[in-house]
Structure 1
């Protein structure tokens, strides 16, 4: 081993946070190694090597950085990343890691040659519009106006197929790529417009290129027409059926609802209810129907707990005109008053014949002093009830509200027990004319102390929420859930009563619900 040389410690240089314990020989240079495509372990190794050689290497990017070192990234990709980090940044050298390794061998900064500089794509056609977006979906504003629906539909189908095959990594990659295209202000017409954009992997780019050049992707068309995809899509559309169950049925030769009904397979309560009401549940729920359900839920909640608050969440809160279900978040301004509410609400709804199916789970969330434990799944632990509502059609919705409320109150007072069997019998009597439809409705109860986090989590979109958690963990060393936000560096919970406060804790500009459609 080569013996280490003694170095004089230069105490005159301040602010050298990247070289604690090492002499800073080149104070005019502030280096930052980009982890993207380099990897964490290699970045840590190279950073420590640079510090030992007397270079000032920063662990976090700041406006003081003069040289950005990257590996396997184009200049456009690095610029896009920089733009997502700092607004109004100054000029910096964008260099390949080869300059860094050569400087390490020389023990001093080598002259920057053309081969060291990251190349940016030169576009000859000035009229070709190029795009630049931040890396995380939670930094972007995505409305319902999608200028690239043909491209995003193709990527979303491949994401869905990956989900059905339980390949979560591939599914998320396609979802992230589609989310980037959804937020663009104009249609993509040429692949050059995508240079430097984040989250567009090689596979996604091949699909996009195929669609732009041929009008459709051969891979997407093949997937769409495959027997397995078509069968699993139908089977997983049954309420209560997941990818594993659907795949098992498919391997047993079941591809249609008719085959499932005649197969003799034992179904649980949720699956049987989903099969019984399949035709209704697969139909989109309109905003008018969602508002009709809201009236019923509000009547139920306020009848058993005056002063409670009910919020319509999910896609409808983001401004979508239709949805596959209706989600409600319920709380009370006085902490603790919400306890025991769900069972009373469900009893009220069952007694009045509004529920075709319901399953309630208790609140299992406990706040640990040393921070939240890693949950078994991404699902939160609020008290919730997954239901299938029996919603009257338009002619029944027009009945007088006061008269209906009076009748329901009388029924509630004379009904000591909740009986789902009575509800089902009532439903059977109306089945011939069927002046109602089945609608999927989820009810969630949150303590007021967690309501801001619950509202954020239940508003979605699913990818937007995933990206919020990823940002919190990777960029802020925090843990975010629908219950709380925990700062791992400070070892404390960060309290918030509104979504705006949560965004502020995360160092993000507030994004309203209508712009979270990632």
Structure 2
């Protein structure tokens, strides 16, 4: 559609036919506000307006906001100025009332749309009112482009050390990491040696858009609020509303990094300027500040359906989709699941007997995992203290040394992030031989699990993957590392010691070649939101693909091999975030 300047005269016949909701007008500014002082920080945003489906009066309002040199002030000597462009390819933000892809493609190319923030007209008007670019995700015009709109939004830049818009890492920065090198294995525990970190000495910002650019402690000053919002997030996830659940997850991650208690005094000031906190979330936060709870969270907690689905998903192998299916079949309690699946005792034998860990039917593997989890649910409920985690690692490495000498390990997961108690134990294992270690590690997973099974230390195998060549396109969800998800039990205490209570524990063993050992450690340390944003940052800001199995350049699949954990962050253009400050989840 050609660019057309709307008439300043209102067409009453056209406007009266518009049945959509009225949009709020941008608040007019006095002439004194139109000029910014030289010390002001002004954000200039280029805007393209798709006039289809818009009332002429609303179009006029939008043009008045977007035209000219008017600066909309937002306080603290900051403000925003919009620039109306005639070429959609020059726009940062596209404003439209169209909500379907096919209709939008009549006006703009879909490839351009995916690289822009596509928002409703209310975003432009509200941004002008508040004098700042508001989070576009709260005003996304198309559900199909929700993620792209959030990440292309010019609202808040990441304040990380390397916040450059460059999508290609400088060649001289990566050249030294393009060949496999001996990993600095002796440093593997340095990053968690200290109980606390001085956040003020780290170049991290709680206003950053990416979790991997923030300092997120295990317990934050607003942990009660986080718990309330997490109830809503879990409810959305249990009901399959993944986009909504992700929105709450992002908001939780932002609040986890906020360094001060949220109060009535700062709620409408610095808190309102944080990324991902839209109008609905702000109203929930305000309710919590006033009442100490959120009504929707309380309703969810009291919901029998929420309680049933939550209970089902505590069983290994049952995710939200399966939980909803079981609920639809009439099941409401764990006892109903026991009757449905039966409490047949199963062992590791069938999984270990298959040639590659994938020969057995997936449904049978899943059913066996659920049966095991139901049988051992009382043991699985008990948290694992840190000293037991360390003892399990010692036993595992002692047994591995008897099979292959020269291996080393790092305990990852919640333990590495400082949790006093864990639900399961994750251990990443490699070999210290930089040149021949990869060959020694290949195939070791299944051999080692068989030994643990024969020794009575592994009682069940939930999942066992053999070696797979790295997938350059990363079309699969899991990485290509060998791994075993097992049920482990510590051996009896030595003679003369008080007999220990032997409890079944979930133990995940991950085997990584020396050259990808540190990406495996970073990838398996978590938290979930931190890892998600780490992958997103690598893609959007560095033109790289990151997962536990390695780092590759997107345009040619060239691999890079950091030799320690800090080098992983340097390669990704990020400031170092200690493991204890990666707790971006509730």
Q: Which deviations, in whole Å up to 9, do the C-alpha atoms of 1:140-181 show, x marking residues without a partner?
A: 111223110111001111111222122221112111111111
Q: Which deviations, in whole Å up to 9, do the C-alpha atoms of 1:190-243 show, x marking residues without a partner?
A: 222412101213332222122112211110011111111100111111122222
**What SS is found at the alignment partner of 2:290?**
helix
Label 1:85 to 1:435 Cα distance change in 2 as closer, same or farther (>3 A).
Answer: closer
Shift of 1:261: 2.0
TM-score, normalising length: structure 1 = 0.68
Shift of 1:438: 1.4
- 1:351 equivalent to 2:457? Answer no
TM-score, normalising length: structure 2 = 0.61
- 1:137 equivalent to 2:191? Answer no
Counterpart of 2:375?
276
**What SS is found at the alignment partner of 2:475?**
coil
Distance (whole Å) between structure 1 residues aligned to residue 485 and residue 470 of structure 2: 24
- 1:321 equivalent to 2:420? Answer yes
Distance (whole Å) between structure 2 residues aligned to residue 495 and residue 71 of structure 1: 48
Counterpart of 2:482?
383
Counterpart of 1:81?
156
Distance (whole Å) between structure 1 residues aligned to residue 280 and residue 451 of structure 2: 51
Distance (whole Å) between structure 2 residues aligned to residue 71 and residue 451 of structure 1: 50
Shift of 1:367: 3.9
Shift of 1:398: 5.8
**What SS is found at the alignment partner of 1:385?**
strand
Distance (whole Å) between structure 2 residues aligned to residue 86 and residue 299 of structure 1: 42
- 1:331 equivalent to 2:406? Answer no
Distance (whole Å) between structure 2 residues aligned to residue 383 and residue 86 of structure 1: 34
Counterpart of 2:518?
452
Label 1:134 to 1:273 Cα distance change in 2 as closer, same or farther (>3 A).
Answer: same
1:183 counterpart (232, 241, 257): 257
- 1:159 equivalent to 2:233? Answer yes
2:327 counterpart (225, 228, 250): 250
> Where does structure 1 lack aligned partners over 5 or more consecutive residues?
3-29, 51-59, 61-69, 90-130, 402-432
Shift of 1:435: 3.5
Q: Is the 8 A contact 1:486 1:492 kept in 2?
A: yes
**What SS is found at the alignment partner of 1:442?**
strand
Q: Is the 8 A contact 1:164 1:232 kept in 2?
A: yes
Distance (whole Å) between structure 2 residues aligned to residue 179 and residue 387 of structure 1: 30
Label 1:136 to 1:235 Cα distance change in 2 as closer, same or farther (>3 A).
Answer: same
Provide the alpha-carbon RMSD of the alignment. Answer: 3.4
> Where does structure 2 lack aligned partners over 5 or more consecutive residues?
3-41, 51-83, 93-114, 116-123, 135-153, 165-204, 344-365
Label 1:260 to 1:307 Cα distance change in 2 as closer, same or farther (>3 A).
Answer: same
- Structure 2 counterparts to residues 169-248 of structure 1, below 5 A: 169-190=243-264, 191-192=267-268, 193-248=270-325
Distance (whole Å) between structure 2 residues aligned to residue 224 and residue 502 of structure 1: 40
Distance (whole Å) between structure 2 residues aligned to residue 183 and residue 43 of structure 1: 37
**What SS is found at the alignment partner of 2:275?**
coil
**What SS is found at the alignment partner of 1:146?**
coil
Structure with the bigger RCO (C-alpha within 8 Å, sep 6+) is 2
Label 1:454 to 1:72 Cα distance change in 2 as closer, same or farther (>3 A).
Answer: farther
**What SS is found at the alignment partner of 1:216?**
coil
Between the two proteins, the alignment pairs up a number of residues equal to 391
Structure number, greater radius of gyration: 1
2:559 counterpart (480, 493, 498): 493
Counterpart of 1:53?
none
